[in-house]
Amino acid sequence: MFEATRRFVADGDSPMPWMGVLTILCAVVAPTVLAVSFLGQLGAAVFVASMPAHLAAKQSGVSVAIAVTIITGLGGVLALGSLEMALVVSVVLSGLTALAFRHGLAQPCLRALFTWTVFTGPIMPADEKPLVLILYCAAVVWSVWVTRALKQEADAEDRQESSQTYSALFGVLLGVGLLISIYVGARFFGSHGFWFPLTFVILWIPPFGNLFSRTAKRTAGTVAGVVLALILGLLVEEVWIRALIALVMVPVAFRLLPVSYVTFTALLTLVILEALSLVADMNALAGERLLSMFAAAVMALVLGAIGLGLLRWIKPEAMDELMQGG
């Protein structure tokens, strides 16, 4: 029992190098904290841009990072404040992501797509779209510049292309999942309904051989993070102290990411809930987060099982690609 639990929680032996942690803090965390402090909800655009830009630059280079995040940001501003446009844009972005998957670029596109889902909620003001886009583009430039300056940019890499059948199936299932999760999240999951599509996209990131284990780990980590946030709220009454504790947890979470995905998810959930609790009730946030997590997990697993069945029927030899692709 103990050994099975250890294997579930532990993913590796080497934590993220401190230079990598420093890069995330400078490229993503610091500008986001400053933007939110001075601009309020409008500052969320900085996080939505800087996080995927940094991750894409770190994995696929600056050129890919800028292209992917700017295109996704344009789609985000287009969808801002309109559920109908969000649904239409989700289909377009799913198609573009499938095309990118065809050429080995699914991961940077999906990471941009999961922060794009924030545009489907009421976090950023829909009546200030030009300013949102300006902040977004500025954050992209800052993030990739810091990533390159601190020598965390990816070297040129060989990208493994995927079959046309697999890419098309991937795009269709992604589009279906986004349509369902965006609509249901907006209608039934409160003001933070974007968590539903956001979680779905995170779970859908390749390689798909890890879909079921990754879903289980993220679910366990989210539950643990919600419990930690509730306990912290009971023990510490002062909001600013809880916010400071959450801020300290950010580098710890990323440092532990390669070691334990469950621990990383728990700490990141704690950080996000404490940050949002500054403007919303913690108990309501916790309930919304758990409901959206379980809903996204169920949908990801159902669509994953459908995809496996269809691929086994249409192109059995693509199963190895499914388990390794991305």
Q: Give the pLDDT mean for 104-122.
A: 86
| Nearest-5° Cα angle at 10, 9 to 16 | 125
CB neighbourhood size of 190 (10 A): 18
Q: Report whether pLDDT(271) > 90.
A: no
What pLDDT is attached to residue 87?
A: 94
**Once rounded to an integer, what is the mean pLDDT over residues 66-79?**
94
d(CA 142, CA 147): 9
95 pLDDT more than 80: yes
Q: Is the pTM of this model over 0.75?
A: yes
- pLDDT band at 313, cuts 50/70/90? low
**Would you call 269 helix, strand, or coil by DSSP?**
helix
| Residue 33 clears pLDDT 80, i.e. is over it | yes
Instruction: Give 302's pLDDT tier (boundaries 50, 70, 90).
Output: confident
> Is the pLDDT confidence value at 241 over 80?
yes
User: Average pLDDT over the chain, rounded to whole?
Assistant: 82
Q: What is the largest CA-CA distance in the chain?
A: 58
Angle between helix axes 106-116 and 195-203 (nearest 10 degrees) is 170
**At 124, is the secondary structure helix, strand, or coil?**
coil
pLDDT value for 314: 63
Cβ-proximal residues to 263 (8 Å cutoff; 6+ apart), any chain = 9, 221, 253, 256
How many helices (H) does the chain have, and how many strands (E)? 15, 0
Does 269 have pLDDT greater than 50?
A: yes
Residue 321 has pLDDT above 60, yes or no: no
Taking alpha carbons only, the member of 282, 129, 107 closest to residue 192 is 282
Which whole-number Å values give the CA distances from 144 to 69, 85, 115, 292, in the listed order? 11, 29, 16, 31
Structure tokens at 179: 């349509």
Q: Is the pLDDT of residue 317 over 70?
A: no
- Whether the CB-CB separation of 226 and 269 falls below 8 Å is answered with yes
Cα 162 from chain centroid?
Answer: 23
pLDDT at 325: 46
**Percent of residues, the chain, with pLDDT higher than 70:** 83
Rounded to whole angstroms, the Cα distance separating 31 from 222 reads: 25
**Mean pLDDT, residues 194-205 taken together:** 81
CA end-to-end span of the chain: 33
What is the reported pLDDT for 293? Answer: 79
Residue 40 — left, alpha, or beta (φ > 0 → left; ψ -120 to 50 → alpha)? left
| Dist. CA 293–CA 90, nearest whole Å | 20
Band (pLDDT 50/70/90 cuts) for residue 25 is very high
The whole-number pLDDT of residue 27 equals 94
Amino acid at 81: G
Whole-angstrom distance, CA of residue 314 vs CA of residue 310: 6
Query: Quick one: pLDDT at residue 259?
Result: 87
pLDDT for the residue 66: 94
pLDDT confidence of 43, banded at 50, 70, 90? confident
Residue 136: partners with Cβ closer than 8 Å, 6 or more residues away: 45, 46, 48, 49, 73, 76, 77
| Mean of pLDDT values over 98-115 | 83
Q: CA-to-CA distance for 32 and 123, rounded, in angstroms?
A: 14
Q: Is the pLDDT of residue 141 over 90?
A: yes
Q: How many residues make up the chain in this entry? A: 326
